Every structure is written in C-alpha cells, then in structure tokens.
Amino acid sequence: MRRFFFSLLLSAALAHPADLPVKQVVLYKHGVGFFERSGRLGPGESARLDFNAAEMNDVLKSLTIAEPGGGKISGLRYDSMDPLSHKLAEFPFRIGQAEALSAMLDQLKGGRLELKFGNETVTGVIVNGRLIAGSDKAPEREQLTLLLDSGEMRNVDLSAATGIRFPDTQLQQQFKDYLAAVAAARSKDKRSVYIDSTDAKEREVVASYTIPSPVWKSSYRLIFGASGQPVIEGWAIVDNTTGEDWTKVQLSLVSGRPISFVSQLYAPKYVARPEAELADDSAARPVVHEGGFDASLGALAGVAGGAVNGRMAKQMAPAPQAQVVNRLEQFGKLEAGTGVAPSSIVASASAGELGELFEYRIAQPVTIRKNESAMLPFLQQAIEGRKLLIYSDHSSQHPTNAAELTNNSGKTLDGGPITVYDGGAYGGEALMETVKAGDKRLISYAVDLGTRITEAFGSKQAVVREIHASRGVMTTRLAAEETRTYTVRNVDKKAKTLIIEHPLRQDYKLLNQKPAEKTPVAYRFEIALAAGATQEFPVSEERVFDQSYAVMNLTPDVILSYVGNRTLSDAGRKQLQRIAEQKRAVAENDRAIKEAARQVQDLTSEESRVRSNIQSLNSVSGQQQQVQSYARQLATDEQQLAGLRDQQAELQKKKVALEGELDKLIEALAF
C-alpha cells in the first residue's frame, strides 16, 4: 500500500465529489479524535472532506491518504483562508466601524460618482467629503463636493440623495469584493479539502486525520454481592459533535494523555522582507563662469576665475542586496505497508496496550447520530476486592466505608466516578484515578457512623545521642520521641478491618509499628477491630536533629554536664574537663579583678572624704590634732591603694595568660 502525505495543489478542478464515510473513530483523553474514512474513487474522480474552520490546523497537520490498491493521487487542495487585514490591504479605500458615508467617499477623490435627487441626476468627480456639525437649529449634515463635467464645482447634500452609484464598473466591483471579504471573515461555514485523482481506473482510498473532539468519559459500578468477589462494570460516555452521523463505525477509546498542540498552518503566513535600494546619485548643480581678467594683468581671457561653484559628487557604496533563499519542499513516497491498517473485530469489547497508552476497542460497530451521545459498556467482570474502613480525615471522628480494589482484570481502568452497590442497595459514590493492571487502589464511598476514633499526643524530653567538637564548635545529636495514640471504638456488633492513614512527616522515623504500606504523604496501618470492642493503637516516632554551640559561650557548669554524658569519648571528656577547669580559673581571676576594683573604689572614696574633712578643719582654730590624725589616715590609705593597683596589674597579666591558654585549648578541641 502506498501512502502520500499532504501536498498543497490548488489548481485541480472538482467535479462530482465522491463520498468517503467515516469507518473508524478513536477518541483520546487530551481533546483530539482520530478519524478514518474510506471509499471508492472512480476514474478521474475527486472526493471532498468537510471540516469546521477551527479544525483545519489539525487536519493540515495530520491528514494522510492511503491507497490499498496502489493508484495515483494528483494532490490535495482546500479552501484557503487569507487574513482579513491582508485582504483589505489590497483595496484603495477603508470602511471603518460606523464610519460616515462622506468620510468613506472622501477616500475616493478623483473617482466618478452619480447621485440622484428625485428626477435630477448629478454626475461628477469627487473633490472631497465632509461632515458638517449640527446645531440647535440645524441637524448634522454630510456634504460632498463634486467637479461636474461642465467644469462647475457643486456642493451636494448626501442625505438628500435617493441613489448613489459608481459609473466606473471596476470601482463598483471593488466595493462588492470588499464587502464579500468582510462577510466571509465572519462566516462559520465549513471548509473543504479535496482529494484529486488523475488515474484512469477505480480504486479504494483511505483518509486518516485528527481533529479536536470531546474527551470520552468513563464511569463505573462496583457491585458487592452476598459473597464472592465484587463485580465492576465500566461504561464509556461518547459525544458525537462532528455534525455528521457515525454509522456502524469501529470505535476505540484510548486511556492516556499524549502530547498534542495546535500549529497555525491554515492561515497564510506573510514575512516582512527588508528593503534594499541602490544609492541615488545627487543631481548636478549648474556651473556659473565669470568674465575674464584684463590681459594686462597677465590673466587669460575666458578662463574661469575665483569663486566658481563646482559640482559636488558624493560617492556611496551600493547597499547590500537582500539574499533570497529558494526552498523546494520534497515530498517522498512511503514504502508499501506503512498505512493505517484497519483493526480487527472481536466478539466482545477488547482491550490492549497501545504503546504507552491503553485502548478499549468496542467489538460491535457503533452508530451515533450527529449531536447525540451514547453510553457504551467496555468492561464487566469480577475484580479482587474487599470492604474495610479508612481513617484519613483527622478532623472527623468517624472513618469512611471503603473498598480495596486490586486490578486483576488485565486491563487499565481509566479514572472516573464509581457508584457502589452493597447487598443490592446503593452504598455511596467514589472517585478513582487511572489504575494500571496489577495495581491497587483504595476508594471511600460513605461515612461509617458505627466507629469512633480519638487521638492523644505525647512526647518525651530529647536525649543526647552523640557529641562531637571541632575548632571551638560542639555539635550534639539529639533524639526526640513523640507518640500519637489512636483510640478506636467499634460500636457495631460485627468485626471490621480499619486502615489508619498516619501523616508522614519529614525527618521522623517510626519506632514501634510497621505499616502495611506507605504513600507519598502517609503510613497505612491495618487494624482488626473486634465487634463492640475498644482498642488503642499507639504510633511512636523519633526525630533526630543536631544542635551546635560555640564552646567559648558555654559556662563551666554546662560543659561539665556534657562531660558526664555516657556517649562522650574518653578523649573528649578529658578535653572538655580541661576546658571547664580553665574556664573556672578565668572566672576566679575575673572575680579577683572585680574585688580589687571594688576595694580601689572604696579607698578612693574614703580619701576624698578625708581630704574634705581636712580642708574644713584647717579653717577652724584648735583642730590641728584632728587634722594630723586625718593626715596619718590618708597616708595609710595611699599605701593600701598603691598595693591594690599593683595587685590589679598582676591580675590583668594573669587574665591575659589564662584566656590565651583557654583559646589554645578551645582551638585544639577535636573529638
């Protein structure tokens, strides 16, 4: 079978288009549908395919033609669509939105116009048109100035004219074409693609393409009987919005979302080209020659003198010419056997992998009238499942009735709503994502009022697990344990199976429970509930985290608290012990410095008081003995003050030495 891709030949003629009815429809989940049409073309006959204008981009992107018998297709052509702005640019006038007639006619200066005013006919050339503003006494008027054949210029009132006509048939036709282009731009009519043939024999032609289509929808019924596995029924909801009946078509439904997009192929595309012009030579200026000098002055008569206006010529490099690249599109012929092969028909709805997608193929031909929809069964079989409870909404005290479904059907179950029937009665509704073969899903369809769940939260003080230090920074690794206890009360007189979805938190690790499974956001724990029983289910988690401290900022008591930790190595314990002792020595020295400073301050205050007393007694007679006593006390205080200042100096020297040693110990800290 030979296949030809879409080629644009706009010259073939159409006569008696043949009909290519729809034979196959494949609907997808991403907004497109694949359609296959087939029929017989007679010798030299053409076929026509009709589409909406909005579908043409997808048709031009995807249309293929196959000939199982091997004939000759001369080409494909279609109704073109030039942008309205480009079409109107060809006309010598514009008709604006709600534009006055005088303004439109003003664009046709020099054109001949014929106006009728009752029995009088006025013919002339348009000079201009204008709109005369109205007033309280006179309304707004449109006026036109014409140059009559007699040479007279006349102003005429357009509102008084009973008829206006262009004697120039070419200009009149331009107006008709202008209005036809505007009307066509508003049209929602069909666009046609024509398949032309020049062969001299009859043959089969198959046309395949994709166009925008409604997404097919799936819905399910899950039926729990008195015993045994539940039965699942799948129904496909299909909408025919093509405006054409689908009569006994082979219908397939594909689960999956392949990438699809719209390319603007239908509207003609124009590219702005650069302008390139050769440099224009400047026009030569005239040269004026003056009269000759007197021969006695040694000048030759007739020779041009002094100020002569010479011609100025400017040399300009020629502008680079635009390079034109001619591209020849080559359309190769495909090898036989690469066409879209028709699908086989089986006794019941079949399903199978379609690349990375999954296809449901309706076994029997389907008929869906235009603008109608249909529900088509594509699945009915037993499925592995069990009823249970799920507690996932922690804002509610009640879990939900649910079902755990394992897809053992061998088919992909497309996502959609599920209506659950339990024991012949309506049980509730659920939503299900797409489930691949062999995968498992939980669905919740009702609230179980016969089970109540409460939660209690507790935590323990963080425990130091490890201690490390390097270059003055100590890092401790701590472990904090938290426990959430679920208390479940089953008030019904029947046993139940409960799944608790415990939130999965980053950096937390389970300690005492092993989940049945894990999702991206939760752990799932399965609990068997006895009839009428109450049960506690604690879930303990541990979070391990690091804290870092600058050893210089820690007090000796804090450092010694880490020295007593059992996880600390002997080398680390010795180093921290030495640092704590050195910090205590620094602290003792600091206290001595403060004490010496206090004593100096007290003695200085005492000296000030004594000097003040001496000054007061010197002016009083008979107080010399007391003055001498104060003088002896002042001398003693001065001696003590000198000793304290010497002590302060020594303590400061000791402080520098102690802190230097402490810095060395902290810098060398490593374990």
CB contact at 8 A, 268 and 83: yes
Q: Is the CA virtual torsion 376, 380, 385, 388 positive or negative?
A: positive
What pLDDT was estimated at residue 187? 58
CB contact at 8 A, 531 and 548: no
Q: Containing H/E element for 244?
A: none
Give the separation between CA 363 and CA 246, rounded to whole angstroms: 15
Q: Model confidence over 8-17: pLDDT tens digits?
A: 222 333 344 6
Place of tokens 């073109």: 80
Q: In 460-533, at which residue ranges do the beta strands (DSSP E only) sit?
A: 463-470, 473-490, 496-503, 508-510, 517-518, 522-529
Q: Is the pTM for the entire model greater than 0.85? A: no
Residues of the chain with pLDDT under 50: 1-16, 289, 291-348
How many CB atoms are located within 10 Å of the residue 144 CB?
24
Which residues, in sequence order, are bridge partners of residue 36? 24, 208
Give the separation between CA 303 and CA 45, rounded to whole angstroms: 88
What pLDDT was estimated at residue 188? 54
What pLDDT was estimated at residue 353? 60
Alpha carbon 53 to chain centroid distance? Answer: 28
Residue partners of 428: CB distance under 8 A and separation at least 6: 401, 420, 445, 446
Residue 624 phi/psi, 5-degree rounding, is -65, -35
Q: Model confidence over 526-555: pLDDT tens digits?
A: 999 999 999 999 999 999 999 999 999 999
Give the separation between CA 385 and CA 228, rounded to whole angstroms: 9
Residue 589 phi/psi, 5-degree rounding, is -65, -40
What pLDDT was estimated at residue 136? 75
What pLDDT was estimated at residue 281? 62
What pLDDT was estimated at residue 379? 87
What pLDDT was estimated at residue 351? 63
What pLDDT was estimated at residue 290? 55
What pLDDT was estimated at residue 172? 86
CB contact at 8 A, 426 and 401: no
